[in-house]
A = this chain, B = another copy of it.
C-alpha cells in the first residue's frame, strides 16, 4: 500500500479556504469528518471526502487541515492502515493513546489567535459540533458552518450520488408491517410529548418502511429522510424510485387509507427547507424529536426551545430488539453462511497446499460460495482476508499491491459476512494450514478464552454491554496482552452490520442496556504488528438465562451463538483452557460441533 500524494490537493484546499467564492471570510482550519449527511459509517463514493483528501479510506477517521498542518484522527483498528495510506504531509493522531490530543485540543495548540475553523454543517453531528465549538470558543476561536463543501470544490471527478432501485420486504421477513411500526412510533411520541420526529439515519428509514436499497456498498439502505408527524408521514427521497409499481403498492401510495398513514413523497434535497417550515408553524412547547447525533444543519433548523434530542431515537431501540420473524431470519442466514464457509474451508484445505490461493482469491471464493445460497444479496462489508503480517492490520482489505499467498507457514484471518434477504452475518475465523507455533496457539487460546468468557457470561437484566468488555480481555491482560478495539457491536437484520445502540466496548458508555432479542458480535482479538493477527468472532443473540437464584426478581440474560462456523481446533492450546471453558466450547454453542468437541475433550 503506497500513500496517496496529497501535496497538490492540500495546496488547492488551502487556497479554497481563503477564497471569497466560498467564504465571506477566510478560515484557518477545515474539518473533514468521516460520515455523510446521515452520519453513516459506510458511505457512498461521492461522500468519501476524507479518503479523497488524505488517501486514508478506513471506516472511521477525521481529517483536519490548517494553513500549515494536516492531521488525521483514527482508532486502534486503523493505526497501521492509516500510517500506510497517508503521506508525509499528514500527522497520524492515534485515538485512545494517552498522549494523543483531542481534535479540539490540537486545534487550540496550533491555531493563530482568533482563528475561524470551518466544517460542512450537514456532515458534522450536532454533538461533535457542540463539543468542538465550545472548546474553540473558550480559546478565543470560532467554529463556522461552511455551506458549500470545500472538498467538493476541489474534487473534479467526484461521483454522482447513487439512486438505485428499492427492494420491498414482506411480513415473513420483517414480522411487523410499516403501518404498525409507525403506530408504535407515534405511541412513543405521545409518551414523550413530541409532535414530530425526524428520521435521519439511513438504516432507520429502511427499517421503518420495510424497504431496502443498494445506494451504499454492503449496507442495504437508500438515501432518504423521513419526518413523522402525529398524523402525517413525509418521505424525502430522490429520483423516480417511487414510480416502481411494487414500491407504490408496498407503501400503499395509490390506496385509499386512513389519512395518518398516507405517505407524502418529497424530494430528498428539500428536507432542510421542509423542516424549517414545520418549525415556523410550531406553537410554544411543541417539540421535534431528533437524535443528538443528527447533523448540525438539521439540529440548528429546529429552534432550541422546540428541540427534543436523545442519544438514540425510538426507532433505533425498536430496530435493535429483533422480533421472532427477524430472529428466525437471522438463524436461517447464519445456517446458510456456515454452509458457505464450510465449503470454503474445505476448498482452502485442498488448494492452499498447492500455493495457488491468495488473500484476494480466497475472499472471492468465499463470496462465490455465499452467493450460491438462497436469498443472498451482497456481502455485509469488505472481506478482511489477511495472512501473516497483513492480519495485524485490523480492518485490512486485500488489494493487488498487498496481496499475499496463503501458505502453511502463516496464520490466516478471515473476517467476512453477507447480506441475505433474511439476515446479516459477520464471522471471523483464524486458522493455520500448517503447524502453528506454540506462541501463536497460546495467543489464539487467550483470545478464545475471552470469546468464551463473553459468550458464556450471565448478567442481570439492565446491564449495559460495556460492563462485559473486560471479560473478553482478562486472559490476555494476565499475560500483558490486549487488543485496541471494542469487543462487539450491534448487528442489523438484513441491515447495517454495525448498528447501535448496544455493543460491548470499553469506550461506549452511552450504550443502551442489553435486552433479550438484541444481537451483537463477540470478537476479541490479538494483533502482533508485522507478524500476525488473531480474531474469533461470533454473532450472538441476547436471551433470557435461567439462574439458580433470581435476586430481586431482576431476571438474567446470556448469549446464544447464531454463528455456526467451526473453530479450528489445531489453533487451541487445550491445557490453557479450564474444564468450564472446555465444557462451554463443547456444549455451550453449536459452533464447534463438527470436530471440535472430540479433539477438545480427548
Contacts and interface: CB of A to CB of B under 8 A. Distances in A.
Interface of A: 98, 138, 140, 285, 305, 457-460, 462, 467-471, 473-474, 477-482, 506, 509, 545, 547-552, 554, 556, 578
Contacts of A551: 480-482
B285 A140 contact: yes
A482 B554 contact: yes
A343 to B, nearest CB: 36
8 contacts: A138-B305, A457-B474, A457-B477, A458-B478, A459-B477, A478-B547, A480-B549, A578-B578
Contacts of A550: 480
The 8 closest A-B pairs by CB, nearest first: A480-B547, A479-B548, A480-B549, A509-B509, A480-B550, A481-B551, A467-B470, A459-B477
A64 B479 CA distance: 50
A463 to B, nearest CB: 8
B548 A480 contact: yes
Contacts of A469: 467
A422 B305 CA distance: 55
A124 B459 CA distance: 35
Given A138-B305, A470-B471, 13 more contacts: A458-B478, A458-B480, A459-B477, A460-B480, A467-B506, A468-B470, A470-B470, A471-B474, A477-B556, A480-B545, A480-B547, A480-B550, A481-B549
B458 A477 contact: yes
Contacts of A552: 482
Nearest to A285: B140
A594 to B, nearest CB: 28
B98 A462 contact: yes
Contacts of A549: 479-481
A460 to B, nearest CB: 5
Nearest to A527: B551
A488 to B, nearest CB: 14
A214 B140 CA distance: 45
A480 B516 CA distance: 16
A28 B285 CA distance: 21
Contacts of A457: 474, 477
B467 A556 contact: no
Nearest to A481: B551
Contacts of A470: 459, 467-468, 470-471
A479 B546 CA distance: 9
